Chains A and B, each alone.
Chain A
Amino acid sequence: QKEVEQNSGPLSVPEGAIASLNCTYSDRGSQSFFWYRQYSGKSPELIMFIYSNGDKEDGRFIAQLNKASQYVSLLIRDSQPSDSATYLCAVIGLTGGGNKLTFGTGTQLKVEL
């Protein structure tokens, strides 16, 4: 079982719709959860982090965490073509130390006009 799993996509949504990106993780003791966006040929950039169960909102982005189900998601409201990118879920677990960030393989999002 992979430590962090994401559907590779591509996930296609029309402009203005809500994009829903999902991620599961295997380390039940994981503490912090991150969503990164990576455009082709660029470096990952941090969108949000969440560490408490529930929802966390920042502009058009909503992160949701359910530790009991070991599930974290990212909703993007009013999706724009500029949101087209690969979205990486990442987790800091209990093992390894040093705030080791373990990434999923990413979900490619395409927002269509």
Chain B
Amino acid sequence: DTAVSQTPKYLVTQMGNDKSIKCEQNLGHDTMYWYKQDSKKFLKIMFSYNNKELIINETVPNRFSPKSPDKAHLNLHINSLELGDSAVYFCASYGLTGTANYGYTFGSGTRLTVV
């Protein structure tokens, strides 16, 4: 039973296209995030939603638009894709992760390749 699930796992698309990545969590957490991991493996926060409200919006091109229909879902839509958007995008949620740990739980990632 996957805690944070992302689809698709792989996405190959041409420059200029529009694409979406979906994320769902069944942990009951209130806060969800999108992170981007670049080719050097650096994880950088993009957005955060708390119970459907946008609370963090880092310096991200406005071609990226998150949407949260409810607290269990956070989707990412990207318009006019560029080569530099190629990366792995991770969805995460924050809360109790086990019996004693608070932290982020990450989805399995979406590897986006723009050609």
Contacts and interface: CB of A to CB of B under 8 A. Distances in A.
Contacts of B97: 46
A98 B42 contact: no
B106 A101 contact: no
A26 interface: no
A43 B35 CA distance: 11
Interface string A71-113: 0000000000000001010100000111111110110000000
B106 A98 contact: no
A48 B102 CA distance: 9
B42 A49 contact: no
Using C-beta atoms within 8 Å of the partner chain, give the interface range for chain B.
20 to 34
Interface string B33-50: 100000011111100101
B90, B94, B103, B109 — most chain A CB neighbours (10 Å): B103
Nearest to A96: B56
A10 interface: no
A90 B92 CA distance: 14
A23 to B, nearest CB: 14
Given A99-B94, A100-B45, A100-B48, A44 B106 contact: yes
B101 interface: yes
Interface in B37-96: 40-45, 48, 50, 55-56, 90, 94
Interface of B: 31, 33, 40-45, 48, 50, 55-56, 90, 94, 97, 101-109
Given A98-B50, A100-B45, A100-B48, 7 more contacts: A43-B106, A43-B107, A46-B101, A90-B104, A101-B104, A103-B44, A105-B40
Interface of A: 32, 34, 36, 38, 42-46, 48-49, 86, 88, 90, 96-103, 105-106
